[in-house]
Amino acid sequence: MGRYIIGLTVLFAMGCTHLDTAPTTLEDMLPWAFANYEAATDGQFAAAIVNLSAAATAIAIDKPLRGELHHRLDYPDINYLNLSDRNPGNAQGLYIFNTFHCTLTELERVLKYRDQASLYPDQYNVYESNFTTSEADYMARKTLFLYWSTYLSATKGIWNMNEMLNGALRFVPDQGKEKSPFGAALIARTYMANPATFPDDSSLKWLQDYQVELYYEAEPGRIVHAYGMWRQVDLGTFFHSDSDSFVDNVSSALVDWDKMTETDCAAGKP
């Protein structure tokens, strides 16, 4: 994994000329974005996008950065979700920093589309998802947050898994040329409120899952994607969240996900 983590230490812009500030490294920015998903101002997220852009020259369509996040989540980072029955520090962190072809408008349609199984074939056995806040109000920008709840069943290797996820999408409006040189942005957040279940083997564990994603359109038709995940899973000796293969396998799958998203955008889906 050493060949990937080098990209994470790249410093972003060393500061902002305005009052809204955000962390300057991906290692710090991703946990900050998860912890402050609802509390951070639009200006702070706009500053985060500017900081991301300073390192985006290190990535290309066929050259993403990916690896382990050494900055794990802590109790204060998840307190606003009312999840007090777990230690988030037990969840292994990983990241990808990637770019793919899509517009922000097309991507927004993909991210909020509730029939994700039709967009990502062969990924799910069952996928049932419903908005828990008004999609109409979100699209009219009466609110900048959209929330949903998802039940899914999937096969991971030889294991069948069921889980409930809480998802959200935040629209960050254009703050003007100085603060938002790339225009608007999207911030997605997902977390698992309760452990996943494995109906065929109760010894398998998927105890925690937290995800945050920052998207902006670096140039017309090209998205930059910063993705952080923290996961506590134990599927046996050779695949658990502290194993050598975990970060490499999961981050590779996330890069493949971006490729599928690019294909959906090119096809005009949904």
Per-residue model confidence (pLDDT) at position 12: 45
For position 17, what pLDDT does the model report? 41
**Alpha-carbon span 264 to 106, nearest angstrom:** 9
- The answer to whether the beta carbons of residues 9 and 138 sit under 8 Å apart is no
First and final C-alpha spacing in the chain = 35
Q: Is the CB of residue 190 less than 8 Å from the CB of residue 167?
A: yes
Which pLDDT value is given to residue 253?
A: 93
Between CA 55 and CA 236 the distance in angstroms is: 37
> Nearest CA to 191 among 207, 179, 204?
207
Which domains can be identified in the chain, with CATH numbers? 29-266 (3.30.530.20)
Q: Which residues of the chain have pLDDT under 70?
A: 1-19, 237-238
Q: Residues 270, 118: contact at Cβ < 8 Å?
A: yes
